[in-house]
Amino acid sequence: MKERIASQVTSIHNAVMLGLLLGAGLSGSIGGSSAPVSDTLARQADKVAVEVAAPAPKAAPAPARFNVHIDAYYEQLRTKLRWKDVRYAGDVLQTPDAQSRLLLVQSAAERAGLEKVGLSYADVYGIINAETSWIPRMGSSKDGTPNLGIAQFEPATARAVGLTDPLDPVQAVHAAAMHLKDAATWSSRRIANLKLTPEEHATKLREGVSIYYNLSSKGRSEWNGLNTAKLPIETQRHIANARLGAREAAEMELQLVQLKSRMSLPGMMTASYRGSGG
């Protein structure tokens, strides 16, 4: 999470459209364009050696405020996720489909209580979009510290939020939501003295969330709410990609709701198909 290296008609028709939406692989956008490549891991060809993925020293017990032990809830959530293969930098990796992404971020936002700090599930989606474009993999900070999994947690940060397995997407997305809650609290303090409209405040709040997530403590301390354009280009891209991802999540949810609504109208046929011999 420190500054990252380099650059990122008929009912049957409705049913088919719903299937396409739910089965979308690399979602980027509903229109079909691929998700932006995260600055966090743009140089996948220079992968961190496998040794850095070795288990860190045994983590301290998770803080009381957040417990990510594998329990019945997370196990049940995992059974609902669907994954698709995607080729990235010569490797075949996996990404959750569109419905699984929404399921994860909505669960994470609710459990973290993000509405209390002015954020929503769309912001969780946006941060994951900015970090990895929803493809779990390894990266590194400029000092060589490994960034792990779908949310790109450094080992120390993972331990701080009680994340026992950064490579587990269910745990990692929920931990990221809790981290965003801290980020929003920090950002809100940084912009407290600025005279902003509600819309401007919402925008600046989210800029601060990306800055908190993307930069070291020293780097983020230089932000005063007015000097975003002077921050590292990687951080500015992070802000833009997080904003794009949040917008995408809201559009996906809206289209999903609309399609499901059409499918449930009285008299609508299902998408079942009878062969030519039937």
What are phi and psi for residue 11, nearest 5 degrees?
-65, -35
Q: What's the CA gap between 278 and 274, in Å, rounded?
A: 6
Whole-number Å distance between alpha carbons of 60 and 68: 13
Q: Model-level pTM?
A: 0.73
Per-residue model confidence as pLDDT tens digits over 35-57: 444 444 443 333 332 223 334 43
Angle at 155 between CA 73 and CA 62, to 5 degrees: 45
3-state secondary structure 31-47: CCCCCCCCHHHCCHHHC
Tally Cβ neighbours within 10 Å of residue 275.
5
Give residue 268's pLDDT: 56
**Between 222 and 37, residue with greater pLDDT:** 222
Position 91 pLDDT exceeds 60:
yes
Residues 257-266: tens digit of each pLDDT: 888 888 877 7
Specify the pLDDT at position 266: 72
Q: What share of the chain is helix, strand, coil (3-state, %, to 5)?
A: 50, 5, 40
Q: Name residues whose C-beta falls within 8 Å of residue 238's C-beta, 6 or more positions apart in sequence.
A: 4, 8, 39, 40, 130, 131, 210, 213, 214
Mean pLDDT across the chain, nearest whole number? 78
pLDDT digits (tens, 9 = 90+) for 112-141: 999 999 999 999 999 999 999 999 888 887
Identify each DSSP E strand in the chain by its residue range: 83-88, 91-96, 139-140, 146-147
